[in-house]
């Protein structure tokens, strides 16, 4: 074995106080920024490149994983810029498909700090001040959502937060019904009797969580949604009655504040009082609608949220933070004790006695990013009024789009928007069959994407193929929406002619 070299060949690859390190850091970060800037210069939200063409491009320009030492940085970043110029321009005003926000610049600056410092949030001795910043953000969030005894933890997003809500609810239910500790003893025989209630418009991650938690998707009872796509309280009462009659054990009720398709908000206040009557864990999925808390105009729509036992908030939706950035809140901070684990190497009991904060006990992750810095910095740099204006703008845009589409005879709109989505269907001139119309609606979206012109979403409502706008970009204006509508009509007419020809 040779002796360890004093001066290694790797110093430029890692951050340190070597000049070569700092120079290389600055140079690669600059290339990276220029790569992002290139997308900002593009006219369209997408290049239109097909998956196959992207693969070909990769094979051609990146033929091996690690070729040889001393690659020409500039050349590699140029190739990277070429390939990433075929990603979706999420900050483009004509990108309006998913609950996928344009990231705000303070969040991006925070990302650079997060990755450079590379803190891990599981223990104090891996994070120092970062732990306190996360706790500070969680306390602030509990304040915003009126949870004086609450606490929270950052998550990867709504899916993980919903899983955590149901996890706590399941632990509590097993203890309550059978004095059974699932964390220690595993799943009890009677587990299949436990039932979760949510509306049929709730997010699919509820079923996913039920399956991960060993309850199975069949444990989720879908309560009917009313004509505004909110949970129907009569049907909820009927479902609860039937479950009890059948000897089943409802234990969790999920209210959605902002359903993914319609942005509808369940009657949270009424649900919370029913949850109390039936001793159910009330989890509120505010992944989408949680952002309303920043406004004065729409905040009242979240009334009742503060009564939830746990809440899902997504910072990477209406809070405009780069992915991933979510939070999970509980009304009673003691609730986290259901999942508390102690590892001698990480968060020994002694640390707790010495008031050393190790956030790992609140999470189902161990190594965890310092994502809290993104909302932290954004809340420092962007005023509440500015924030409220941005959200108000997108909600208003949805209202005006709804009014506009209602007047267009080629379109049918499915709901008056509560938040910033609009679900509608191209109806054309009424000569196509239901089946062909379904096909046509999906085609409109696909053609717009293939041309790279506009990015909108699709969904299905009672068998009708629909199109959907999700407005999250404060820079999108009505003029752009009008342009999209005009293009949809043009494509609709062209394709109708083609389909009609097929039909005859
Ligand atoms: C987006 C969304 C989720 C999932 O959140 P992710 O951050 O994508 O994991 C859950 N529920 C609702 C209502 C959502 O809109």
Closest atom of ligand 1 relative to the 324 alpha carbon: 7
Interval between CA 284 and ligand 1 midpoint (Å): 12
Instruction: From the CA of 316, give the closest atom in ligand 1.
Output: 7
Ligand 1 pocket check: which of 314, 322, 327, 365 to mutate, most ligand atoms within 8 Å of Cβ?
314
Per-chain mean pLDDT for the chain: 94
The CA 223 to ligand 1 mean position distance, Å, reads: 19
Distance 158 CA to ligand 1 centre (A): 4
pLDDT band at 303 (very low <50, low <70, confident <90, very high): very high
Nearest-atom index, ligand 1, CA of 99: 1
Distance CA 485, CA 487 (A): 5
Residue among 200, 205, 262, 291 to mutate when testing ligand 1 (max atoms within 8 A of CB) = 205
Would the CB of 158 count as within 6 Å of ligand 1? Answer: yes
pLDDT of residue 3: 55
Q: What is the pLDDT of residues 398-434, one digit of tens each?
A: 999 999 999 999 999 999 999 999 999 999 887 899 9
Closest ligand 1 atom to the C-alpha of 323?
7
pLDDT in tens, 52-76: 999 999 999 887 776 666 678 999 9
Q: Which atom of ligand 1 approaches the CA of 257 most closely?
A: 13
Ligand 1, pocket-test mutation among 100, 155, 159, most atoms within 8 A of CB = 159
326 lines ligand 1 (CB under 6 A): yes
Q: Which one-letter DSSP state was computed for residue 181?
A: -
429-483 pLDDT tens trace = 878 999 999 999 999 999 999 999 999 999 999 999 999 999 999 999 999 999 9
> Is 238 within 8 Å of 250 (Cβ atoms)?
no
Q: In this predicted structure, what is the pLDDT of residue 436?
A: 93
CB neighbour list of residue 348: distance below 8 Å, 6 or more residues apart:
342
Phi-psi region of 476 (alpha: psi -120 to 50; beta: other; left: phi over 0): beta
pLDDT digits (tens, 9 = 90+) for 164-184: 999 999 999 999 999 999 999
The residue nearest atom 7 of ligand 1, judged by CA position, is 157
Q: What is the pLDDT of residues 371-406, one digit of tens each?
A: 999 999 999 999 999 999 999 999 999 999 999 999
pLDDT of residue 450: 96
- Please indicate whether residue 295, judged by its CB atom, sits closer than 6 Å to ligand 1: no
**How much is the average pLDDT of 211-225?**
98
User: What distance in Å separates the CA atoms of residue 335 and residue 333, rounded to the nearest whole number?
Assistant: 5
Per-residue pLDDT reduced to its tens digit, 4-22: 555 668 899 999 999 999 9
Instruction: Output the CA 253–ligand 1 centroid distance in Å.
Output: 17
pLDDT for the residue numbered 353:
77
**What distance in Å separates the CA atoms of residue 166 and residue 172, rounded to the nearest whole number?**
10
- pLDDT given for residue 67 in this prediction: 65
What distances in angstroms separate CA 333 from CA 144, 169, 196, 201, 340, one per listed residue? 16, 14, 23, 29, 12
Ligand 1 centre to CA of 342 (Å) is 30
Residue partners of 105: CB distance under 8 A and separation at least 6: none
Q: With pLDDT > 90 as the criterion, what percentage of the chain qualifies?
A: 89
> Quick one: pLDDT at residue 63?
79
Which residue has its alpha carbon closest to ligand 1 atom 4? Answer: 158
pLDDT at site 8: 66
Instruction: Name the more confident of 397 and 501.
Output: 397
What percentage of the chain reaches a pLDDT higher than 70?
97
Q: What is the pLDDT of residues 27-47, one digit of tens each?
A: 999 999 999 999 999 999 999
Distance 360 CA to ligand 1 centre (A): 23
Q: Is 470 in the pocket of ligand 1 (CB under 6 A)?
A: no
C-alpha of residue 311 to centroid of ligand 1, in Å: 12
Strand order in the sheet with 249-256: 151-155, 326-330, 310-314, 281-286, 249-256, 194-199, 220-223
pLDDT digits (tens, 9 = 90+) for 257-270: 999 999 999 999 99
Q: Which residues contact 478 (CB under 8 A, 6 or more apart)?
A: 397, 400, 401
Give the domains, in start order, of the chain with CATH numbers.
17-89 (no CATH), 120-381 (3.40.640.10), 384-503 (3.90.1150.10)
406 C-alpha to ligand 1 centroid (Å): 28
Q: What is the pLDDT of residue 1?
A: 47
Contact 411, 424 (CB under 8 A): yes
Q: What was the pLDDT predicted at 354?
A: 77
Note the pLDDT tens digit of each residue in 106-121: 999 999 999 999 999 9
Q: How far is the centre of ligand 1, averaged over its atoms, from the C-alpha of 288 (Å)?
A: 7
Q: What is the predicted pLDDT for the residue at 187?
A: 96
What is the distance in A from the centroid of ligand 1 to the CA of 108?
Answer: 21
Cβ of 314 closer than 6 Å to ligand 1, yes or no, is yes
Beta carbon of 161 within 6 Å of any ligand 1 atom: no
**Pocket probe mutation, ligand 1, options 155, 254, 258, 287, max atoms within 8 Å of Cβ:** 287
Mutational test site, ligand 1, from 99, 201, 457, max ligand atoms within 8 Å of CB: 99
């Amino acid at each position: 074995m040779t002796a360890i070299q004093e001066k290694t060949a790797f110093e430029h690859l890692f951050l340190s106080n070597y000049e070569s390190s700092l120079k290389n850091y600055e140079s690669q970060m600059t290339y990276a920024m220029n790569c992002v800037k290139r997308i900002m210069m593009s006219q369209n939200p997408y290049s239109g490149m097909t998956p196959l063409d992207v693969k070909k491009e990769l094979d051609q320009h990146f033929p091996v994983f690690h070729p040889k030492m001393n690659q020409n940085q500039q050349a590699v970043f140029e190739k990277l810029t070429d390939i990433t110029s075929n990603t979706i321009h999420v900050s483009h005003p004509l990108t309006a498909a998913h609950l996928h926000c344009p990231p705000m610049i303070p969040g991006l600056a925070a990302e650079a700090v997060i990755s450079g410092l590379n803190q891990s949030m599981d223990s104090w001795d891996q994070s120092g001040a970062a732990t306190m910043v996360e706790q500070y953000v969680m306390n602030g969030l509990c304040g915003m959502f009126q949870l004086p005894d609450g606490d929270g933890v950052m998550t990867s997003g709504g899916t993980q937060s919903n899983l955590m809500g149901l996890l706590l609810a399941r632990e509590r239910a097993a203890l309550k019904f059978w004095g059974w500790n699932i964390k220690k003893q595993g799943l009890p025989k009677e587990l299949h009797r436990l039932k979760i209630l949510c509306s049929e418009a709730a997010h699919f991650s509820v079923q996913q969580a039920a399956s991960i938690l060993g309850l199975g998707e069949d444990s989720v009872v879908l309560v009917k949604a009313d004509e505004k796509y909110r949970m129907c309280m009569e049907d909820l009462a009927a479902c609860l009655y039937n479950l009890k009659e059948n000897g089943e054990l409802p234990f969790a009720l999920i209210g959605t504040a902002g359903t993914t398709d319609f942005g509808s908000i369940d009657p949270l206040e009424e649900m919370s009082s029913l949850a109390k009557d039936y001793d159910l864990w009330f989890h509120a999925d505010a992944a989408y609608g949680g952002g309303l808390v920043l406004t004065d105009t729409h905040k009242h729509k979240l009334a009742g949220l503060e009564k939830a036992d746990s809440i899902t908030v997504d910072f990477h939706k209406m809070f405009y933070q780069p992915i991933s950035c979510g939070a999970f809140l509980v009304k009673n901070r003691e609730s986290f004790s259901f999942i508390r684990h102690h590892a001698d190497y990480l968060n020994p009991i002694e640390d707790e006695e010495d008031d050393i904060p190790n956030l790992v006990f609140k999470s189902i992750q161990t190594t965890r990013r310092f994502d809290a810095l993104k909302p932290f910095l954004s809340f420092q740099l962007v005023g509440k009024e500015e924030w409220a204006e941005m959200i108000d703008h997108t909600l208003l845009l949805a209202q005006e789009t709804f009014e506009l589409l209602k007047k267009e005879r080629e379109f049918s709109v499915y709901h008056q928007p509560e938040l910033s989505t609009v679900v509608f269907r191209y109806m054309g001139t009424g000569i196509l069959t239901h089946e062909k119309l379904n096909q046509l609606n999906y085609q409109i979206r696909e053609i717009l994407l293939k041309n790279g012109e506009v990015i909108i979403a699709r969904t299905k409502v009672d068998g009708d193929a629909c199109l959907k706008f999700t407005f999250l970009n404060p820079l999108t204006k009505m003029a752009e929406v009008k342009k999209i509508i005009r293009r949809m009509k043009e494509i609709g007419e062209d394709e109708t002619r083609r389909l009609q020809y097929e039909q005859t």
